[in-house]
Every structure is written in C-alpha cells, then in structure tokens.
Chain A
Amino acid sequence: MLGYIRVEDFLIRTKGEVIGRLVTDAKDRVYRRAYQWQDEGSTLVVQRSDGKGDAVRIAKTVPLTEALIAFFGLYSGDGAKGSEDTNKPGIIVPTISFSQKEPNLVRFAVDHFRKLCPGDIRFTFSLGEDSAYFMAGDGAELLQEYYISQGLPGTPDTQPLISCRQELNDKDREYMAEVRPDVTGANEDYLAFYYTHKAAMEAILTEVKRQDLSNAGVLLRESDRVTASLRRPFKKGARQPGGTSRSDEIHVGGLNGFGELFLKVLHEIEDSIVRDSTTSASGLVEWIGIPSQSGQILDIKQFFTSNTYGYIARQRPNWLADDIVYLRGQWPRSGETTLHKQIRVDPLWCYTSGLYLAEGTTDKAKLFRMFSEAPGSMGLSFTSSEGTSIELMLRTLHKLFPIAECLKAWKVKVGSQYFPELVVTGLKQGVSMLRGGNSGDGKLRTMEISLAIREWALAVADEPLTQISLLRQHYSDRFSHVEPTGSGVARIDFWCSSTLCRWYFPLLMYTVFGEIVADPIQGFY
C-alpha cells in the first residue's frame, strides 16, 4: 500500500466543491461540481449538492494499492473524460466509461470500479462495430450462421431501402449525403443493408461480447447489461466490405454525478507523481512518503530467476554479467540487455504500468499469453499527445534501463485533419509537402516540415513540467520524422529496442496483476 485517497478530508476542506482542469486531445477544459455527503461509518455516501445524480458510496479513506494506482493509470489512457456542455464551451461534464477490448483488462477494470465504489453500481458492456464487417469475410459467415440458427436457409437478400426504412431520420439523411472516395457503391444500398440486417447483427455482436466476458471470468450481475452498438456501413474505420472497426466500451452506471470527483482523484494522483510530492495539491491524495522513495524494492535478477512472472514462453533469461551498477541479461533467441539491478515499485511505476496497458502500442493479447507461449515479435512503443504521459513513461524506463538505451527514436504522428497546416508550414519555407509510402502514410519526405514540428513536440513535452523534459534532455537528437496518418491530433510516438520488451513487460504485468493472479501461466484468459 503506497498511499491514500483522503475523500472525507478533501470534501470537508473544500466544502464539497471539486474543480479542476483537463487537457486531453489538445483540448483544454475545466470541470466543477459541488457535492453533499453523508457519514455512514467508514464510508461516505456522496451525491451532487443539487440532489441530482446517484448517491455513490465510497470509503472515507481509500488505500492506494499498487493495483489501484495501476487502475487509475489504465483509466487515464482508456477511460472517458467526459463531454463538453454544448451550452457552455470549455466546460466538461465528466462521464465514467471505459474503452477496452482485452477481456483480462476488462475484468481488472470492473473489479476495481466495484472495489472503489462498493455501492449499487452496474455495468453496460457495449461492443461497437461497423456494419460493413458483416458484408464479407468472417462477419458475413457469422451473419449466415445466425440466420441458419433462426431457421432460415441463409442470409436473406437485402431489401430495398424504401421497404426496410420507410422514413429516414436526420442521421440517415446525413449518411446518404456523405461522399466516400475510397468506397465504391451507393450509400442507399449500404443503408438498406444496415436496416435489413440490423437486428441480426446486433444479436451477433451482443453474443460475442457476452462470450468474451464469460471467458474472462467477469461475473455479470442482474443489473449489468450487454449491448451492441452498430454503425452504418463505412461510417468509421472499415474501408471495405468485411473490414472491422471494433470498439468496446464499458459504461458504468450508478456513478452519475460522481465523474468530477473521480477525475479529480485521477489528476491528483498523476500530478503528485509528476511533481514527486508526498501530498497532492489539494490534499486529496497522500502518499506514505516521497513517491519516488516509496514502494517495495524488486531485485531484478531474483525476480527473473524465481518469480512466477519472470517467465517468457515458460523460459527464464540467462545472466551474462553482474557488476556494481548493472546486470546484463539475455533471453533465449533475443539480444543482450543492460539493466539496473533493482527497481522500486513506486507510484510512478504502478501508474505507468496501467497507462502502458492502455496506451502502449503492444498487442495486449501477447502480454497475457507471453508467459506460456512464445509471443513472437513484440515492440515497446508509446504514443501520447500529452507531455505528462511521455515524461512519466520515460522516467519509468529510466528506472530499469540505462538512459542511452531506453529510447531508440521518436516521431510525430499527425492526423489528416492537420495536413493543411503541415502544407502551410512547408510553404512558409518555400517547399511543398512530399509524403512517403504508396498511400502517403510513410515518413514525410520534406525535412523542413518535420523539423518545424519537432520543435512543437519538444515544447509539448516540456510544457507541463517545471524542468526540461527527458525527451528534450536526452533524446532531442533522436527525432526521426513526421508521419501523416489517418486521423487524430498531432501526438508524440516513441519506440524502444524490441529486446527491452522482454524485461519490461513481465515486471509491468507483475505490478498490475501480481496481487490477484498468482500464476500468470495459468491465470489469464
């Protein structure tokens, strides 16, 4: 246990008012909420002071275990932060929901929501998919099997739109007017497919999700629901029939009105870790000591020699050297790696373990299977539009690896929405923008633009800190390029040597799941 969330003390001190600032996806917004609360022994029942929303039960003082800190890291990456009030621009109304597909992580998140708020909370598990998925390939087969199971000979023909959708709504009309240069065929036909098979497709998706949850050991309570969220064909992500654009959401019910306080906890945890401060700015979070000096010490050699999490494909690493400062080790069929001899499982390590599980680009399924079977090629890379996240991940890697070996190179990914800005950046220097790769998503070939955006990235990395960032301090010369990509705000993406993965990932998994899964070879779905 590394600290506490002092809920009662905080509410008394602020007279129930929660206020904070949120910067995500390059949007700077504020949130504010006044609360009332009732004392019920060791717990409080917290509700909006206007009486609206749910009455939420939470401990007066919540112990911050390694796993709970990791949960907040996970939520920081995958959790919803809220939506903007259309009548009040810049004001965010937080909602608590969570985007995650990996079943073990879903179970982990659900368990921690229930631990944190032990009252009447309920979950709606939603599987979203583009209906184009059902037009060909695996999706079409699933559709056919479904209809056969319903007593039909196969998938029935798509009805004319006028038959299956007699009156179009605003979203239908908007869809009909959209032009998709990459998609052949008529929107009317696609919309007809959507409405002809909507019920069948939703039933299939619901069953897929229900099965995933069951396999992961998520126990559904009576109040929990499993639903499908079906999108019109090619609306998002899927670019050809059979293409997938799956998105999994967990909506947490029973926490209506609690989002501001939840976000405040998250921000105070992160901020106190960034500043390495024993107490967060408003006192909501209090660590047992200076964060970087709190937490158990892990002996790296011992961990990979005897811990149940110290395996990859049921094998352990070989040790090549063990001097005063560093170890040198090597996994079978991998390269030599230099490591620090010890790490401290401090709040930073725990928080970024969850954050990496959410935001890291490694295939999550491999992280859960790697203990028992060869994971194949794995990569360690991380993407974020926020300087804080980049800094915290680099600090974490510095705890385990020598500085020079932590980061191989970094780039800036820029979504197509901002290509015109890139073009103008080039024009200001008299050059046009030349893209790389057949579809233009390779390395930008125009150096002037890449170099200009590099300055933006370094400033973003520095911006939330009182000192210069690790990115600028150690890796400013490892900026590789700008990469034009499909969508999204500009974000920093760094990657490490693949040999580091095999050391970092077992430690990360131990931090998050060590308390609840004793044997990772057997314990994960």
Chain B
Amino acid sequence: MSCNRDIWVFGDYRNYFQNRVTLQILARAVDLASKTGGKVCAVVLGHHTDEFVAEYIAHGAQIVYAMDDPRLKSYSIETFSWLMAWLAKKYQPEILLVGATRFGQDMAPRVAKKLNTGLTADCINLEIDENGLLVQIAPSFGGNLIAKIITPVHRPQMATVRPGTFQELPHDNHAPGEVIRPVLPDDLPKDRNRLISSEYRPSKKQKIEDADIVICGGRGMGSKGKFKKLFDLAALMNAEVGATRPVVYSEWASHDALVGQAGKNIKPKILLSFGVSGAIQHTAALIDAKFIVAVNKNPNAAMMKMADVAIVADANQACLGIIKAIREKIRN
C-alpha cells in the first residue's frame, strides 16, 4: 500500500513547559515537509488534551490526530505504543518522529518493531536527500562519531530526536489546522504494566545540561580550596559549574558536576574551561558548546586545541583575574 507523504510527530505533552521537544520537531517537520510535499501532523493521545492540540496547531501542525479518552489519561508505554502503531497502519504516514525523552526512547523502538520498520535514535539533525529520503543524522560512540542513516524501503521512516536540537517556531494563533479524532478501537489490549505512583520531581541535574554558561574545572585548578573559586565566578556569571573525573574523584566537586562519559553532556553558549587537560571522556560531552574559552598552563593540552580562545596561564590565577574583571565591569 502506498503511503501519503505526511510527516507525523508524536505529541509528548507531559511536563509541557519544560519539555518543548514536540514543538521543536514540528518546526523541523515544517521544513522537511516543504521538500517532501506532505502534511505536518501531530498525534496526541490522552484525556482533556485540547490545549495541547491547539498548541501544536499554533506551532506548525496542519493536522492533529487526537484520541481523547479517560483510559489514556496517564502515559502508558504499552497502550501508547499499540495505538501509535495502529494509527500508523491506518493512516500510513511517510515519516514518524518522536522526541527522545525517556518515554519517547522507550516507545519509539516498540512502535518500530510493531511496524517492522527501522528507527534511528537520538538524532541531532534530519534532512531530505535528493531522492526524497529522510537522512537521519545521529551521534554514536559517545559523540565521537556521527552517522548518516537512511531507511531505504521500510515505512514509515522513524527517528527519535534529541531535545534541544531544533528551534521551535513562534506561536501563531491564526495558523489553520484540522483535528481528526479516531475512535479508540475495541481490541485495545490491556496494559501489562501497572503504574502505582507518579510524582513530579524535577531533578536538579537539568541545570547544567541546559545552562547557557558552564564553567568546567580540572585538576589544573590545584586544590579543593582553589576549585571553590569557580563557584564564585559561576555566581557572578549566573553559570553552572562542571568538573572532570579526577576532580570528582578527589572530591573537589560532587558527582552531579561530572561532565563527560558517565556524567552530563552540556551545550552552553559559552564554556569556560579551567585547568582541564582534555581527556576524550570529558571532551566528548562538549561538542555542542558554542564558544569555548580554555585556560591551561600547557598550551598543547587537547582542551586548548579545541577552544575558540586558548589562554596560556595558571588556571587558578586566571579564574581570580576574571572574577576581578567582571566585578569591576559590573560596578561601573
């Protein structure tokens, strides 16, 4: 059966104000649809979800498939996977995109299996190639390698997209959109997972991963006491402090601050790196930093090579110098 050329985006509306990934993907879908010629559609499964339906239309969805039923009031991995597969079989979209929240990362592979199609996880970009195929660009190996992947034959072409990859479109109250309300099928199977409790508990860990300015410190800071100065600088700059593994192991900073493999990935506008040599386990987490200033006594440290500005100086001294400079400038 031939599909239409529509691009579907799963509506992950839980925790809406922090979780913007659906809007971000919709924006990209609009771009991609202009090349494939299909419609941009959102899928919303839940109960009392009209506000999200309206939001998605305002952010680029031309059609919203909305299934509203009390049985769908909490996110359920089995039910949602089954319904997404059912909807996809019924309406045959060309492309199906899901935000790579934990829920999305769990749901998308199940849907792909049910539909017997391929899935690329955690994409950092999506393109349409000259044959109209979706090119799925995803990192692997801790970000040390980027792969370009296509799904030549199987349909729909599926991908999960890393939150923060794309920029959402501005809210447009006047955007037109159609809402289609398929009826919940009778043979919807019972959920084998039972949700006993769900408590909204935003983790503090979001902060460094989303911070605009991150200050990373390495062993070159010298000591725990000197490392503490980075927190002073962070306070001045409204930044978060990150650390390398040796620093965390020496207990100059807590494990929450670990940036790198087994720690956090960061994507700040500015990264200030003090006394970090640049081991690959750390630098792999920095590829999304837009502007990097590195300070190190050793001009040839790997961290210095990947910086926009490499300052050859003692990390501790430089930190104190920058604190002083910023204080003066703010005062003036």
A and B physically associate: no
